[in-house]
């Protein structure tokens, strides 16, 4: 039987990293704010051990669905630290956009992620933009595309904005998606075709 929010929150303190990870994945799916404070404390403890990157990733992603905008200062500080793992940068970008969306400040959050120049963090942020199907203003979309198009066309960072663009408008978006149709990466070409047809892909983050 699947854990409920109370049981999963309790399991965040288990001695086994695998069980803590399982609890975080369950809470991420439940999206219950009850678990938010416990997830924040669990993540603060977890990031001390570089061996548990998968658990750190799932806890950070879960915080994005269970936490609150009050958790944003910690997350921003975490992703700026040199020792923070790449997996946490990805999840951190996702969680920062999600929690900012709750506070209706997601546009500012996206711009902040872009300003860091951290491709992994930006990739996570755009993952959330795609999954939340955010329709962004033209200026923010232009800033995103400036960042993306400065990278090599075969770069995986093209994937999530190609999906997210299904909800964006304008000639530049159309040109971006058209160029992605010829990507040597099949997943990007397929996402571009879907977005040009106004359809979001069905891909889900890990």
Q: What is the pLDDT along the chain (206 residues), one digit of tens a residue?
A: 788 999 999 999 999 999 999 999 999 999 999 999 999 999 999 999 999 999 999 999 999 999 999 999 999 999 999 999 999 999 999 999 999 999 889 999 999 999 999 999 999 999 999 999 999 999 999 999 999 999 998 899 999 999 999 999 999 999 999 999 999 999 999 999 999 999 997 788 88
Q: What pLDDT is recorded for position 26?
A: 98
Residue with tokens 């400065």: 150
Q: What pLDDT is recorded for position 128?
A: 97
Tokens for 181, please give them: 């149709």
Q: What pLDDT is recorded for position 1?
A: 72
Residue with tokens 């959330």: 128
Q: What pLDDT is recorded for position 143?
A: 98
Query: Cβ atoms within 10 A of the Cβ of 34, count?
Result: 15
Q: The pTM is what?
A: 0.95
Residue with tokens 């969306």: 101
> For the chain, what is the radius of gyration of the CA atoms?
17
Q: What pLDDT is recorded for position 66?
A: 98
Candidates 44, 49, 60, 64; CA nearest to 17 is 49
Q: What pLDDT is recorded for position 2?
A: 84
Query: Cβ atoms within 10 A of the Cβ of 193, count?
Result: 15
Candidates 93, 184, 168; CA nearest to 133 is 168
Q: What pLDDT is recorded for position 203?
A: 80
């Amino acid at each position: 039987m699947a854990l409920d929010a109370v049981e999963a929150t309790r399991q965040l303190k288990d001695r086994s990293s695998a069980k803590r990870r399982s609890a975080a994945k369950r809470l991420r799916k439940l999206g219950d704010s009850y678990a938010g404070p416990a997830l924040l404390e669990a993540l603060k403890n977890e990031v001390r051990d570089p061996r548990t990157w998968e658990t750190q990733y799932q806890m950070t992603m879960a915080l994005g669905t269970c936490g609150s905008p009050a958790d944003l200062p910690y997350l921003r500080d975490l992703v700026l630290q040199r020792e923070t793992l790449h997996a946490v940068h990805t999840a951190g970008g996702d969680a920062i956009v999600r929690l900012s969306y709750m506070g209706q400040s997601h546009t500012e959050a996206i711009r902040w992620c872009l300003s860091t120049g951290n491709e992994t963090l930006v990739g996570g942020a755009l993952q959330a933009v795609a999954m939340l199907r955010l329709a962004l203003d033209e200026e923010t979309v232009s800033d995103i595309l400036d960042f993306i198009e400065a990278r090599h066309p075969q770069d995986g960072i093209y994937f999530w904005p190609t999906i997210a663009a299904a909800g964006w408008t304008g000639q530049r978006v159309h040109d971006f998606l058209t160029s992605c149709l010829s990507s040597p990466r099949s997943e990007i070409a397929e996402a571009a075709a879907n977005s040009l047809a106004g359809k979001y892909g069905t891909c889900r983050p890990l």
